[in-house]
Chains A and B, each alone.
Chain A
Amino acid sequence: GQQLNQSPQSMFIQEGEDVSMNCTSSSIFNTWLWYKQDPGEGPVLLIALYKAGELTSNGRLTAQFGITRKDSFLNISASIPSDVGIYFCAGQNTGNQFYFGTGTSLTVIP
């Protein structure tokens, strides 16, 4: 199955800093999704994007659906300790077909 290229693999940042991560694919997707996984838990959906060029915010999180439909970006502003976790991108075309990135592990240093 297809895997998405997600970068960076890990990040160590100071509390209050902004964070950027991205995801690229060799194929186009109809929907891009961003999930967060807290330690010891399953992933939880943060943002869903449905249209090329779309920019969507959820609190301090902002995500964009790339114009080419082959990439997506997630930004977190003014990071706080509870932002710690693994962030996954996912692309979806139809129904059951989700393709996940390899994850970005975020550590926030107080």
Chain B
Amino acid sequence: DVKVTQSSRYLVKRTGEKVFLECVQDMDHENMFWYRQDPGLGLRLIYFSYDVKMKEKGDIPEGYSVSREKKERFSLILESASTNQTSMYLCASMRGLWDEKLFFGSGTQLSVL
């Protein structure tokens, strides 16, 4: 089974802190994604990566950056956390751009106070 692991289930941070959300997949997938999930808004794409060191902006990249130094790991960085970034963050991976099966992690619920 594909396993996508997010390092934290719950995080509480203060406004202005730098926050790192880590995601690791064990299936040698090419593509990795970070989504944000808010009630009534569904899933919105923040960033995705189709290869090591490659990244593309999604629909809501403002206030976020990403890092993919190794194929299995994709990190989401909040340079200076703000209260409007309180949300559920979901990491996902996919075998290749020809595929349609996204595999999601369990999510990180981030609260910024």
B-contacting residues of A (Cβ < 8 Å)? 1, 3-4, 6, 9, 31, 33, 40-45, 48, 88, 90, 92, 94-96, 98, 100-103
Contacts and interface: CB of A to CB of B under 8 A. Distances in A.
Interface of B: 4, 9, 31, 33, 40-45, 48, 50, 56, 58-60, 90, 92, 94, 97-98, 100-107
A44 B104 contact: yes
B24 to A, nearest CB: 14
Given A96-B50, A103-B42, 17 more contacts: A3-B42, A6-B42, A9-B40, A31-B100, A33-B100, A33-B102, A40-B9, A40-B106, A42-B4, A42-B90, A42-B105, A42-B106, A45-B101, A94-B97, A96-B33, A100-B43, A101-B42
A4 B103 CA distance: 20
Contacts of A43: 43, 90, 102, 104
Contacts of A3: 41-42
B43 A88 contact: yes
A98 B102 contact: yes
B97 A95 contact: yes
Contact of A96 (B40, B97, B105, B107): B97
A94 B45 CA distance: 15
Given A94-B97, A96-B33, A96-B56, A1 B44 contact: yes
Contact of B58 (A1, A48, A88, A92): A1
A41 B9 CA distance: 10
B76 to A, nearest CB: 15
Contacts of B105: 42
A102 B44 CA distance: 10
